[in-house]
């Protein structure tokens, strides 16, 4: 058993830095690299890619990344835990094996399945699972014919099982984001399903690192004190068998790790801190101690957890209509007054043409779009960006809105510019529907090739 296991997270979300994982793998000691490629609606995009092409449906960026760190995986022995397999981990694995073979390398890849319940959704409803929206209480009947994808947040013991079978890369399906880090801890230390405090420690560690540089100085209130954000180091968990762990980053990297950078991240997307529910355990975020150790090293001790719930969360995505937004820059004397008039003109022209929408928005960027009326209005506004948006089930109506932005440049008040990139086009809205499923209905499988 290793005394300390080092787990770095190089990808906080779909679209995060493509270089960060490489820097983590090459920049210092590391045992595991976790990579989160999924947001709540990413799986729906992948599900539709797969409908068009049975070989698609996973994060293609991941293949390019593996190419760059192949020596670290095959020679240094760094293991990669990721949800990049999306809804087609089998195809993703085939491609990975091909690209490794092209470099003369053999690589063992684990695939975890059972999280994708989209094909079984109606059968499961037939068995009495209501999949009602846990935020709003609504019945799934209203969206059942518009569903794009349905994936269960499965537990992390599946990752440990894949590692046990020798996987060097684990394509983990829709495990929880913190679960990507918890899985290797379960494997390394043999933690059991009833080791609630230990599972809570691993889950908290994964929560801290799941958004990448957001715990190492990114998005930090005291940003003026953070050195060299351009070269920010992504976070590393140094876990011990007893569940105590440190958060740190590679030496020589930018950013900052201290009680406040880590503490802020612990608060990110937090609900009731005493009941943080994961598929593996419930974590009490009011329990532990967070202490500055040496420079850029924070320790976490005494995390308390208790038994997980008897349900898993299900992430369902569905078609919810169309939206579009467009913007104009309004400058010069009385910029805000002119922006208000510009908005009024556009909405009135649409109304006169017979168009109304399910929802609209009018925002004044530079004045009040983020913080409403919290700030007093400045006496002089040099320029303001007017941002208008509409949402509707009818695509043609949304596209008609897009045609009403440009005309006001020559038929409205003076000093209006910044219209580039063409007319805003209707974009499909893929919405998120969170639900629950009793654990006994979910059957996960692990295979390693």
Q: What does the binding site for another protein look like in residue numbers (CB under 8 A)? A: 40-41, 135, 219-222, 224-225, 260, 263-274, 285-290, 320-321, 323, 325, 359-361, 363, 365, 369-375, 387, 389-391, 429-432, 434
Q: In terms of CB distance, is 265 or 311 closer to another protein? A: 265
Q: Are 62 and 17 in contact (CB under 8 A)?
A: no
Dist. CA 358–CA 144, nearest whole Å:
21
Q: How far is the CB of 321 from another protein (least distance, A)?
A: 8
Q: In terms of CB distance, is 152 or 300 closer to another protein? A: 300
Pairing outcome for strands 311-331 and 427-438: antiparallel
361 φ, ψ (degrees, to nearest 5): -140, 145
Q: Are 318 and 430 in contact (CB under 8 A)?
A: yes
Q: How far is the CB of 202 from another protein (least distance, A)?
A: 18
Q: List alpha helices for 283-370, DSSP H.
A: 335-352
Q: How far is the CB of 308 from another protein (least distance, A)?
A: 20
Q: How far is the CB of 38 from another protein (least distance, A)?
A: 15
Q: How far is the CB of 389 from another protein (least distance, A)?
A: 4
Dist. CA 18–CA 62, nearest whole Å:
9
Q: In terms of CB distance, is 123 or 274 closer to another protein? A: 274
Q: How far is the CB of 39 from another protein (least distance, A)?
A: 10
Dist. CA 81–CA 24, nearest whole Å:
14
Q: In terms of CB distance, is 8 or 389 closer to another protein? A: 389
Q: Are 297 and 255 in contact (CB under 8 A)?
A: no
Q: How far is the CB of 170 from another protein (least distance, A)?
A: 27
Q: In terms of CB distance, is 251 or 275 closer to another protein? A: 275
Furthest C-alpha separation in the chain: 73
Q: In terms of CB distance, is 238 or 363 closer to another protein? A: 363
* Cα 3 off chain centre by: 31
Residue 338 CB partners (closer than 8 Å, separation 6+): 330, 332, 412, 413, 414, 415, 416
Pairing outcome for strands 4-11 and 236-240: antiparallel
Q: In terms of CB distance, is 120 or 222 closer to another protein? A: 222
Dist. CA 186–CA 181, nearest whole Å:
9
Q: List alpha helices for 190-316, DSSP H.
A: 196-209, 259-266
Q: In terms of CB distance, is 302 or 344 closer to another protein? A: 302
Dist. CA 80–CA 181, nearest whole Å:
10
Q: How far is the CB of 244 from another protein (least distance, A)?
A: 15
The three state secondary structure string of 151-198 is EECECCHHHHHHHHCCCCEEECCCECCCHHHHHHHHHHHCCCCCCHHH
Q: How far is the CB of 182 from another protein (least distance, A)?
A: 21
Q: How far is the CB of 190 from another protein (least distance, A)?
A: 28
Q: In terms of CB distance, is 70 or 204 closer to another protein? A: 204
Q: In terms of CB distance, is 9 or 168 closer to another protein? A: 9
Q: Are 75 and 104 in contact (CB under 8 A)?
A: no
Q: In terms of CB distance, is 52 or 224 closer to another protein? A: 224
Dist. CA 215–CA 209, nearest whole Å:
7
Question: What SS3 class is residue 341?
Answer: helix
Dist. CA 252–CA 370, nearest whole Å:
35
Q: How far is the CB of 320 from another protein (least distance, A)?
A: 6
């Amino acid at each position: 058993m290793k005394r300390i296991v080092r787990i770095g997270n190089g990808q906080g979300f779909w679209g995060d830095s493509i270089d960060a994982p490489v820097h983590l793998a090459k920049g210092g000691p590391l045992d595991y690299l976790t990579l989160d490629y999924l947001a709540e609606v990413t799986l729906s995009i992948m599900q539709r890619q797969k409908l068009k092409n049975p070989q698609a449906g996973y994060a293609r960026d991941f293949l390019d990344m593996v190419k760059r760190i192949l020596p670290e995986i095959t020679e240094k022995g760094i293991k990669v835990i990721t949800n990049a397999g999306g809804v087609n981990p089998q195809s993703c694995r085939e491609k990975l094996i091909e690209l490794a073979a092209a470099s003369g390398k053999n690589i063992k890849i684990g695939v975890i399945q059972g999280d994708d319940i989209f094909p079984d959704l109606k059968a499961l409803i037939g068995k009495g699972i209501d999949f009602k929206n846990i935020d709003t209480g609504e019945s799934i009947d209203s969206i059942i014919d518009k569903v794009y994808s349905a994936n269960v947040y499965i537990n992390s013991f599946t990752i440990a099982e894949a590692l046990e079978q020798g996987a060097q890369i684990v394509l983990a399906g829709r495990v929880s984001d913190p679960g990507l880090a918890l899985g290797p801890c379960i494997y390394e230390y043999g933690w059991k399903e009833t080791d609630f405090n230990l599972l809570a420690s691993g889950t908290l560690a994964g929560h801290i690192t799941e958004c990448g540089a957001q715990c190492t100085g990114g998005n930090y209130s005291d940003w003026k004190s953070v050195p060299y954000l351009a070269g920010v180091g992504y976070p590393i968990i140094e876990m011990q068998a007893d569940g105590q762990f440190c958060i740190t980053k590679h030496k020589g990297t930018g950013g900052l790790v201290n009680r406040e950078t880590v503490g802020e991240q612990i608060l990110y997307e937090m609900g009731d801190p005493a009941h943080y529910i994961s598929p593996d355990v419930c974590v009490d975020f009011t329990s532990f101690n967070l202490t500055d150790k040496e420079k850029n090293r924070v320790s976490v001790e005494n995390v308390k957890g208790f038994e997980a719930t008897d349900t898993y969360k299900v992430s369902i995505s569905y078609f919810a209509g169309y939206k579009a937004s467009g913007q104009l820059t309004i400058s010069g004397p009385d910029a805000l007054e002119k922006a208000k008039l510009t908005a009024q003109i556009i909405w009135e022209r649409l109304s006169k043409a017979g168009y109304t929408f399910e929802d609209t928005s009018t925002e004044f960027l530079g004045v009040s779009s983020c913080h409403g009326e919290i700030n007093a209005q400045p006496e002089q506004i040099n320029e303001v960006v007017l941002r208008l948006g509409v949402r509707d089930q009818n695509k043609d109506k949304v596209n008609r809105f897009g045609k009403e932005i440009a005309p006001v440049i020559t038929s409205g008040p003076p000093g209006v510019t910044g219209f580039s990139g063409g007319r805003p086009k209707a974009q499909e809205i893929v919405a998120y529907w969170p639900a629950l499923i009793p654990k006994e209905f979910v059957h996960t499988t692990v295979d390693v090739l």
